[in-house]
Amino acid sequence: MNKFKSQVSDADLRILRIFRTVVECGGFSAAEVELNISRAAISIAISDLETRLGFRLCQRGRSGFSLTNEGSQVYDFTLQLLSSIEDFRTNINALHQNLKGELNIGITDNLVTLPHTRITRALAGLKDKGPQVTINIRMIPPNDVERGVLDGGLQIGIVPDLKILSGLDYHHLYQEESKLYCSDTHPLFALGDKKITKAKLKEFDAVLPAYAQTPEIKSQHQPLSASATATDREGIAFLILTGRYIGFLPDHVAEHWIRDGRMRALLPSECHYITQFSAITRKGARANLILETFLAELEKTQ
């Protein structure tokens, strides 16, 4: 029987993280979106893990996805291992009696233009209290932020509340409003408000977000004629500015284009939605002086 060697390599950890994501997503198809790798690559990774362990971890096929008894145990062991890695990082950081070390924070794209500036002020407060702290910011999609916090690669993340994960604690920050926009080169830009209806909007191509959304937000996108997607709000803005698409953007992102006369909101009283944002931390994580200080600064900026 093939077994893991006494030392667990980075490659081993990568395969185990893939396995964990497959289990938590309930199958290969959903995990393909979460991991941003092909189903074939996921299948190869799981097969390699099964070969190394010497037993089958899951059933997959037309009948659906399910874990074997051994697979359920390996999943539990995987969670323990990944949690232990984060505990090690935390324990090393706790040896410092002053604010010295790193804050690894993941942030969803295009939040810097929010008028609240709570994150900016909290980062400034942390740096004032700990001049030796190294701040590492990763601008990545919400799924990657959540995964990074869960596996310990990130100590904290800033994400929209699109789904609540049991392994995370949520610290509410603020909300943003989004509306449907077109650019000044789009046929709808010069059309009078009374002539713009939802039926009229359906005549034009729309760009939709490729990331997860709540059912309420999806209901706003569903009536549109989707012919393009973007993985972040900057990509949506790019396509709106071509004059060939309409799409939803947060007001604070669209504001300077509106001010310059390059965008307008379409049916703003009907085509709009609110997104809640929270700071997320791993549930049950041990005390970390740098993280606690940053969370305290976030609370002060309310």
CATH of the domain at 23: 1.10.10.10
Q: What is the CATH number of the domain that holds 281?
A: 3.40.190.10
Question: Closest by alpha carbon to 221, among 229, 276, 81?
Answer: 229
Same domain for 155 and 222: no
Does some domain include residue 4? no
Opening angle at CA 217, ends 221 and 220, nearest 5: 35
* pLDDT at site 272: 96
- Confirm whether 39 is domain-assigned: yes
Which of 118-122, 177-181, 227-231, 268-272 is least confident? 118-122
**Could you give the C-alpha distances from 4 to 54, 55, 71, in angstroms and in order?**
10, 13, 15
pLDDT tens for each residue of 39-82: 899 999 999 999 888 899 998 877 788 999 999 999 999 988 88
Is residue 267, in this structure, part of any structural domain at all?
A: yes
Answer yes or no: is 82 within a domain.
no
Average pLDDT over residues 214-231: 93
pTM exceeding the 0.85 threshold for the entire prediction: no
What's the whole-number mean pLDDT along residues 255-277?
A: 95
User: Is the per-residue pLDDT at 86 higher than 80?
Assistant: no
* First-last CA distance in the chain: 57
24-38, 43-57, 107-121, 283-297: range with lowest mean pLDDT: 107-121
- Asked whether residue 181 is domain-assigned, the answer is yes
47-51, 83-87, 222-226, 266-270: least confidently modelled range: 83-87
Among 179, 155, 174, CA closest to 117: 174
Residue 81 lies in a domain: no
User: What is the distance between the alpha carbons of residues 31 and 76, in angstroms, rounded to a whole number?
Assistant: 18
Is residue 30 located within the same domain as residue 47? Answer: yes
Residue 125 to residue 204: CA distance in whole angstroms: 46
* Mean pLDDT score, 98-124: 80
Which residue range(s) make up the domain with 235?
175-275
Total domains, the chain: 3
Q: What is residue 1's predicted lDDT score, i.e. its pLDDT?
A: 46
For range 20-46, the mean pLDDT: 90
Q: Are 288 and 156 members of one domain?
A: yes
Give me the pLDDT at residue 61, please.
Answer: 76
Q: Is residue 56 part of a domain?
A: yes
168 exposure class (CB count in 10 Å sphere: 0-12, 13-18, 19+): middle
Q: Which of 106-110, 119-123, 135-139, 148-152 has the lowest mean pLDDT?
A: 106-110
Q: Are the beta carbons of 57 and 19 closer than 8 angstroms?
A: yes
Q: Tell me: pLDDT of 5 over 60.
A: no
Residue range 236-247, pLDDT digits in tens: 999 999 999 999
Residues 233 and 158 in one domain: no
SS (H, E, C) 255-292: HHHHHCCCEEECCCCCCEEEEEEEEEEECCCCCCHHHH
In a domain, 37, yes or no: yes
pLDDT of residue 2: 54
* Residue 233 confidence (pLDDT): 86
Average of per-residue pLDDT values in the chain: 88
Decide if 160 contacts 231 (C-beta within 8 A).
no
- Averaged pLDDT for residues 137-160: 90
Q: Is the domain of 63 the same as that of 112?
A: no
